[in-house]
Structure 1
Amino acid sequence: MSAMETDELPVVLPSSTTSGLSLALHPLPILNISEHLTRMRLQTRSSLPFVLGALLGTQNGREVEIVNSFELAVENDGESVNQAFLVTRKELYKQVFPSLEFIGWYTVAERPTAKHIALHDQFIVYSSTPLLLVMQPSTLFTSGTEIGGQSLPLKAYEPTIEIRDRKSRSVFIEASFSVETGEAERIAVDWTAKGGEGGTSLEGHLQTQRAAVKMLHDRILLLVKYVSEAIAGSAKKDHATLRALSALIASLPASENRGFREEFDTEYEDVQLTAYLASLTKSSNILNELVDRHLILTSPREERGGGGGSGPRRRGLMGRQGDFDRFHM
């Protein structure tokens, strides 16, 4: 069978053929594929760039669970997979997630073609039946289509062998899937869906603050209207209310009032000067006491006389007492 004939034959069996595979898809690979596609669009400036990656998960008989994914490197314009890169990344993920195995691969396309069959054959060495997850671009996706109970631009395919004209070839069977989420995944998806705004608590706090400011503004306008009408005589004057308003205004900061600022600065300087003078007075008092003590200790004594051992002490005591009396008269 020539390559042209292979391209003309459909590689997906009719929808009447069921897969019978129980497939569960987690949100993380969906987000990874979407991010991969968006990044490649920006890098290549193409609406439909070539995207290729591996799917990791667990398989127990016909029950398959896709948990994670990672990107793959390609060669020859996307015709072949960089096997060394695939093996290295797979082993690295195996060290971190020992329970996850290579389940299949993903790409972005309108539908599987013969090119995808050629890529599929390169993954058989890692899994006997590698699954294919195709993300369909939004421009080619019908929003009314239900996939696995979810309106997602994704389709899953299971590989199989078709015998036609006594010849066998690889084809795909569309498999239904369901989205499975854990508690941590639901929180992460909810945060991502809200644009990563830092959580709903911040939004609620800001909304509360906005409502409080709006209420305060409305009440201030109401008070201004009442005072204007009271001055104009169209409203009855309530002296208790007016006194409360006057006290409220007096308690408000008047930093924008130039007269208030000048008066405040003057009082502030007076207080600072008073504190400075008090400190000087206290320092002068301490210095005066030190001078007095120095004079008492160094003042001249009376001439010492006599040879008694106790005489000098008596004269010394009397001399200190005389100095003390002289300096404190």
Structure 2
Amino acid sequence: MSAMDTDEPQGVVLSSGAQSGLSLSLHPLPILNISEHLTRLKLQTNSNSPFVLGALLGTQNGREVEIVNTFELAVEPGGELVDHGFLVSRRDQCEPFQCHSQLSDDDPFADKQVFPSLEFIGWYTVAPRPTPRHIALHEQFTGYCSTPLLLILQPSITLVASSDVNAQNLPFKAYEPTIELRDRKSRSVFIEVPYNVETGEAERIAVDWTARGGGSGTSLESHLQTQRAAVKMLHDRIMVLVKYVTDVVAGQAPKDHATLRSLSALIASLPATENNAFREEFETEYEDVQLTAFLSSLTKSANILNDLVDKHLVMTSGGNGERGPGGPRRRGMGMGMNRDRDWDRH
């Protein structure tokens, strides 16, 4: 089915002069879901153009439509037919009860609604443009929705930088199905539907949280990951220079004296890390850091042990031990002071 993207255009999209009367809003979650679906299939199939197919969930009020969420779909062996059993099971989990009230109380999907306020409103795929095969796929969804929308992710589209969140600067295009009459014959075609990106407060927080790395770790971890990426980039560039010099020495690359002079000046500006005085100072600093960490750990262990001894003495005294103005005397602290006096005498 991946050959869908290679079909010659058959004019299944009406010219730009035709306009749709839909007012379409696209939420961020479907954008993230479809992008993740494509990326995952690329890695799983080791293909740059895997067949991506999924359903769109949203709400429709007259000619106002919102695409709020998605779920993935399966296809029959051969890739030409949608797995309708899988689609129905997923749809029944998401749609409100009143849309499929024929479900009995014993039905496994009767109490497992995931998105009870959403309904099936269309499907999505990945392709450069709609083709006749998309028309054939579209007809398989008309039994679930009278006019299912089509949302296409176009990874190869040229993006235009814009600060306007509602501008059509995303690699997505939405299409509404319609019927065209030509030469006394009718055929199914698509009309492109302009859309706005609708973002609620909760979605803005979630998208920002995802962009910042989500729950992947603390700010220190994020900083270390940034540093690691920078070091890796530096290493890659150094390896390019090393390979160039190696090829020049081996006679496999022409000599560029300007480049070689720049490399020589760069090497001369580097610190002499193999100098004996540097190594000695570095090892001293390293030992000091290690000793500080060891002393910190030892102090923490001593404090824990002292608290344990105090609790043990309180429990074993049975209330008969010497008591001070504030309760039982902290014998552990006294023992520690006696030990200090013994060490001073030595």
TM bin, normalised by shorter chain, reads: 0.5 to 0.7
What's the CA shift string for 1:241-290, capped at 9, x where partnerless? xxxxxxxxxxx97989xxxxxxxxxxx99827959xxxxxxxxxxxxxxx
How many residue pairs were aligned? Answer: 212
Distance of 1:255 and 1:65 partners within structure 2: 60
Which residue does 2:160 correspond to in 1?
144
State the SS of the aligned residue for 1:14: coil
**AA paired with 1:271?**
R
Which residue does 2:36 correspond to in 1?
35
Contact 2:75 2:81 in 1 (8 A): yes
Given candidates 158, 172, 189, the residue that maps to 2:207 is: 189
**Runs of 4+ displaced beyond 3 Å:** 145-148, 201-207, 252-256, 272-275
Scaled by the length of structure 2, the TM-score of the pair is 0.55
Which residue does 1:124 correspond to in 2?
142
What's the CA shift string for 1:183-210, capped at 9, x where partnerless? 11101101112233658x8369979xxx
Deviation at 1:9, TM superposition (A): 2.9
Question: Structure 1 residues 76, 171: closer, same or farther in 2, change over 3 A?
Answer: farther
Q: CA RMSD in A?
A: 3.3
State the SS of the aligned residue for 1:91: helix
Which residue does 1:271 correspond to in 2?
339
Deviation at 1:148, TM superposition (A): 4.9
Question: Structure 1 residues 186, 274: closer, same or farther in 2, change over 3 A?
Answer: same
Given candidates 200, 206, 219, the residue that maps to 1:202 is: 219
Contact 1:54 1:72 in 2 (8 A): yes
Which residue does 2:125 correspond to in 1?
107
**AA paired with 1:192?**
T
Which residue does 1:44 correspond to in 2?
45
Contact 1:148 1:176 in 2 (8 A): no
Question: Structure 1 residues 272, 56: closer, same or farther in 2, change over 3 A?
Answer: same
**AA paired with 1:144?**
V
Deviation at 1:76, TM superposition (A): 3.8
Identical-pair percentage: 65
Distance of 1:150 and 1:191 partners within structure 2: 24
Deviation at 1:96, TM superposition (A): 2.7
Question: Structure 1 residues 194, 205: closer, same or farther in 2, change over 3 A?
Answer: closer
Distance of 2:144 and 2:200 partners within structure 1: 28
Larger Rg: 1
Bigger proportion of residues as helix: 1
Q: Does 1:92 align with 2:107?
A: no
Distance of 1:254 and 1:30 partners within structure 2: 48
State the SS of the aligned residue for 2:86: helix
Distance of 2:116 and 2:151 partners within structure 1: 23
Which residue does 1:23 correspond to in 2?
24
What's the CA shift string for 1:83-126, capped at 9, x where partnerless? 00000001112223222110000000000000100000000000
Deviation at 1:77, TM superposition (A): 3.0
Distance of 1:145 and 1:254 partners within structure 2: 50
Distance of 1:113 and 1:44 partners within structure 2: 23
State the SS of the aligned residue for 2:202: helix
Which residue does 1:176 correspond to in 2?
194
Contact 1:7 1:114 in 2 (8 A): no
Distance of 2:179 and 2:141 partners within structure 1: 15
Distance of 2:293 and 2:92 partners within structure 1: 69
Scaled by the length of structure 1, the TM-score of the pair is 0.58
